[in-house]
Amino acid sequence: MNSRFNPVDLFQTCVLIIFVMCAYFLLGLIGLQLAVPPSNAGAVWPPAGIALAAIVLKGPRVLPGIFLGNFSISAWALGFSPNACLIYTGTGLGATACAYTGYRLIKHFIGLPNPLLETQKIMLFFTLGGPVSCLIPATLGISLMVAMGNIFPADIPFNWFSWWVGDTIGVLVFAPLTLILFAKSHSIWRTRLNTVGTPLLLSFLLVSGSFLFIQQDENRRHAKEFERQTLSLVKLINERLQNHLQIVYGIRNLFTVSASSVDQAGFSFFTHSFFQQYPELKSLAYLSLSSQGSEIKNLIPYFIEPEQSRDFLATAINDPNLFFNFSSSFESTKHPTAFFEFIDENVIILTPVYKNSNNKKALTGVALSMFILPELLDSAFTGLTMEGIQVSIDVLDKKTGAINVHTLAKNQLIDRQIQHQFKLSDQNWLVNFFHDKSHIHAQYHWSLWWYFTCGLFFISVMGVGLLALTGRHAITESIVNERTRDLLKAKNTAETANTAKNHFLAKISHELRTPLNGIMGFTQLLQNNQGLGDDEKQHVNIIRQCSQDLLGLINDILDFTAIETNNTKVVNRLFDFTAFLNDIDAIYQLIAAKKGLKLTTSINNAPIKLRGDEKRIRQILCNLLNNAFKYTDHGQIQLIVNASENELYLTVADTGNGIAQHDMDRIFDPFIQLNNHDAAQEGIGIGLTITKELLKIMNGRITVQSDLGAGSIFTVTLPIENQTTASS
């Protein structure tokens, strides 16, 4: 199928490529600022992380942007040189291959797009995109630089390792940051902005800031040390040159005083110690001059030491351009002085020798010395550390201007310069000291590199760990939300079923009441029939009792259903509490007599009139008394009524079966009956449950004390208003 050309897609792709290129270049500038001298490579290379994240998010169409960005930053770092275009191209291809390889490996092993939730996938993502893929640019770039002579073979291990580490850390730190900012495939990336992105960025800024501070502090320390060293060095150079000047002055004075008595042997004896003390000294000579008028007639070398310098010095002496100017200067100079002449790096010091004749000064000769300047510097700096320090010397001459007498070596990486000046004879000497950063001490380089790399590695581990934690949290939260939805669905289903059950119970209970009322009505009619015999009356009484028990069960079910559906209403009104208690006592006295038990009712300080729900209080008290009679076979039952200023206390005590301690918490659960004598009791076990729920609605409470086999004491507490009380 032919794809249709879409100008909008092409435009968007071009914009994306330009954006990636610019981001790569700008982040590359940051990486260059974090380089550890003397290397130009940073201890962290942020563009590596940007490149991987860009291709993961947008696919291979961003590859041209990665190549152009790396090409540009390489040209910026190494200098825009046509000869280095091959290196720029190679490093660009290495960076592009690194990003594409990481993309393919990640897509194959963990799939894309991926929110990186599982710890295993997070580790695979950064292992494949970081250490594995970053082998490519380091290997390709170093191989190309070695082939072109930019790096010596001995420097391969460190440069390759630092390149690989920088790219790897760049991926581990900046790939997560880029994904957090630009990934839209999953909501987890937005939540990671504060939990991962902010700590990662702040930690990187903290470590980078401390690195730059330490680097600047080290640079200041090295600058001060460099300045201190140059002061000592220029002092040594000055002193050494002054010593050579004094040697020439000494020869001048020798021939001024006794030129006729000095022979070759005497001159050799006089100069012997100078050659031993100054190894750079090559020749000492006295030139006898004979002239007619102002024109030099003869230049006769009188004495020359040592023999191997004769040819070189003889050539220099016989150069008319050299000595004619000096002879003219000597004759016009009022005060004897010295002159310097420079041939390559050989320095010749000349000073005139005069004799007084007829009260006139006559130029009779020239005292000179010749030494090699580089050897002088080596001798002056003997025993001193000169690593990383280069020297260049210029001489300012009034006639010829500045003369460079010692040139700086080529291919030096200069990062600072200091100039010192001193005067020698009538000439100004300028000594320039240069600091070669390619000779920075290895200890300084490695310690700073290790500090920064370890800090960045810690940040990388922290970032990966935070991603793993947030991923695990997201997975856990997803599971919890899913389980919550399931539980909510189950809860709604259960509530619906419970509501249906309650409606069913309420409806069926009402439906059961209708035939039951008919049974009870006809039972009452039969009881009033005088024609029934004793057996028939007993049978009718049994029917009536069963009907009443069934009615009680139905009422309990209705009450329990009303409580569960929050339909229970409490109606508080004033009623005769004394009559209420008397009625209760009369009813249960009959039950006690029938069962052969003793019922005692004690009323202490109870109100005569009580405001409350008479129906619910009766129901609570009857439930407690019914249970007491149900579980008591012998002894007595006590009903104790008492009141305080704000509370009413109703206590039912029995001498029945009692309750075991481990069953105390179960007695208020619905449908629970404790059959301590293995005898099933009547009822369905919801009396105490209804009692507790009614008390909760009425802001009351119930407590129980019991010992197994010794009876139980139930106490109900209800809030009341201040009312008139009575006792009996």
Q: Model confidence over 538-568: pLDDT tens digits? A: 777 777 767 766 766 677 666 666 666 666 6
Task: Give the separation between CA 172 and CA 326, rounded to whole angstroms.
Answer: 73
What does the DSSP assignment read for 486-535? HHHHHHHHHHHHHHHHHHHHHHHHHHHHHHHHHHHHHHHHHHT-TT--HH
Q: Supply the pTM of this predicted model.
A: 0.58
**Most trustworthy range by pLDDT among 540-544, 574-578, 707-711:** 574-578
Confidence of residue 653 (pLDDT cuts 50, 70, 90): very high
The token pair at 410 is 């080529």
Confidence of residue 678 (pLDDT cuts 50, 70, 90): very low
- Computed over every residue of the chain, the mean pLDDT equals 80
Per-residue model confidence (pLDDT) at position 336: 53
Range of weakest confidence among 123-127, 477-481, 687-691:
687-691
Q: What is the mean pLDDT of residues 248-276?
A: 81
Asked whether the predicted pLDDT for residue 582 surpasses 80, the reply is yes
In single-letter form, the type of residue at position 725 comes to T
Asked whether the predicted pLDDT for residue 311 surpasses 90, the reply is no
**What b/e string do you get for 280-316 counting C-beta neighbours within 10 Å, with b at 16 or more?**
bbbbbbbbbbeeeeeebeebebbbbbeeebeeebeeb
Q: Which residue has the higher pLDDT, 201 or 546?
A: 201
Q: Which residue has the higher pLDDT, 216 or 319?
A: 216
Residues 6+ apart with CB under 8 A from 350: 248, 326, 338, 339, 340, 341, 366, 367, 368
Phi, psi torsion values for 611, nearest 5 degrees: -95, 115
Strand locations in 655-722, DSSP E?
A: 701-707, 711-719
Asked whether the predicted pLDDT for residue 584 surpasses 80, the reply is yes
Confidence of residue 354 (pLDDT cuts 50, 70, 90): confident
Per-residue model confidence (pLDDT) at position 105: 95
Per-residue model confidence (pLDDT) at position 364: 78
Residue 630 Cα distances to 327, 364, 687, angstroms: 150, 155, 12
Asked whether the predicted pLDDT for residue 470 surpasses 50, the reply is yes
Per-residue model confidence (pLDDT) at position 441: 46
589 membership: H or E segment, kind and range: helix 577-595
Q: Which residue has the higher pLDDT, 452 or 125?
A: 125
Task: Give the separation between CA 449 and CA 555, rounded to whole angstroms.
Answer: 87
Strand locations in 17-104, DSSP E?
A: none
Confidence of residue 316 (pLDDT cuts 50, 70, 90): low
Phi, psi torsion values for 666, nearest 5 degrees: -95, -15
Residue 422 Cα distances to 340, 345, 417, angstroms: 15, 19, 17
Per-residue model confidence (pLDDT) at position 411: 57
Per-residue model confidence (pLDDT) at position 19: 95
Per-residue model confidence (pLDDT) at position 176: 92
Grouping H, G, I as helix, E, B as strand and the rest as coil, residue 667 is coil
Range of weakest confidence among 1-15, 219-233, 288-302, 593-607:
288-302
**What value, to the nearest 5°, has the Cα angle with vertex 108 and ends 107 and 109?**
100
Per-residue model confidence (pLDDT) at position 102: 95
Q: Are 95 and 62 in contact (CB under 8 A)?
A: no
Q: What percent of the chain has pLDDT over 70?
A: 80
> Is the alpha carbon torsion for 207, 210, 211, 212 positive or negative?
positive
What is the tens place of the pLDDT at every residue in 173-190? 999 999 999 987 778 888
Q: Are 633 and 598 in contact (CB under 8 A)?
A: no
Per-residue model confidence (pLDDT) at position 42: 65
In CATH terms, the fold of domain 570-726 is: Heat Shock Protein 90 (3.30.565)
Asked whether the predicted pLDDT for residue 442 surpasses 50, the reply is no
Asked whether the predicted pLDDT for residue 132 surpasses 90, the reply is yes
509-518: which pairs have CB atoms within 8 A and are 24 or more residues apart?
509/554, 509/557, 509/558, 509/561, 510/558, 512/550, 512/554, 513/551, 513/554, 516/547, 516/550, 516/551, 516/554
Q: What is the mean pLDDT of residues 605-623?
A: 85
Q: What is the mean pLDDT of residues 429-441?
A: 75
Phi, psi torsion values for 474, nearest 5 degrees: -65, -40
Q: What is the mean pLDDT of residues 482-492?
A: 89
Confidence of residue 503 (pLDDT cuts 50, 70, 90): confident
- Bridge partners of 348, per DSSP, are 341, 370
Task: Give the separation between CA 682 and CA 685, rounded to whole angstroms.
Answer: 9
Asked whether the predicted pLDDT for residue 295 surpasses 50, the reply is no
Confidence of residue 389 (pLDDT cuts 50, 70, 90): confident
Confidence of residue 413 (pLDDT cuts 50, 70, 90): low
Domain 223-439 classified CATH 1.10.10.10?
no
Residue 335, class by beta-carbon neighbours within 10 Å (0-12 exposed, 13-18 middle, 19+ buried)? exposed
Asked whether the predicted pLDDT for residue 324 surpasses 60, the reply is no
Asked whether the predicted pLDDT for residue 292 surpasses 60, the reply is no
Q: Are 67 and 28 in contact (CB under 8 A)?
A: no
The token pair at 66 is 């990665």
Range of weakest confidence among 128-137, 480-489, 620-629, 663-672:
663-672
Q: What is the mean pLDDT of residues 669-679?
A: 55
**What b/e string do you get for 254-276 counting C-beta neighbours within 10 Å, with b at 16 or more?**
bbbeeeeebeeeebeebbeebee
Q: What percent of the chain has pLDDT over 90?
A: 20
What is the tens place of the pLDDT at every residue in 82-93? 778 888 899 999
Phi, psi torsion values for 342, nearest 5 degrees: -125, 125
Task: Give the separation between CA 67 and CA 74, rounded to whole angstroms.
Answer: 11
Residues 6+ apart with CB under 8 A from 38: 413, 437, 438, 439, 440, 445
Count CA atoms closer than 13 A to 609's CA, side-chain side: 8
Per-residue model confidence (pLDDT) at position 409: 65
Interstrand relation of 360-372 and 281-292 (parallel, antiparallel or unpaired)? antiparallel
Phi, psi torsion values for 491, nearest 5 degrees: -65, -45
Per-residue model confidence (pLDDT) at position 259: 64
Range of weakest confidence among 99-108, 429-438, 533-542:
533-542
Confidence of residue 300 (pLDDT cuts 50, 70, 90): very low
Q: Are 368 and 263 in contact (CB under 8 A)?
A: no
Per-residue model confidence (pLDDT) at position 425: 81
Q: What is the mean pLDDT of residues 334-356?
A: 78
Q: What is the mean pLDDT of residues 403-410?
A: 78
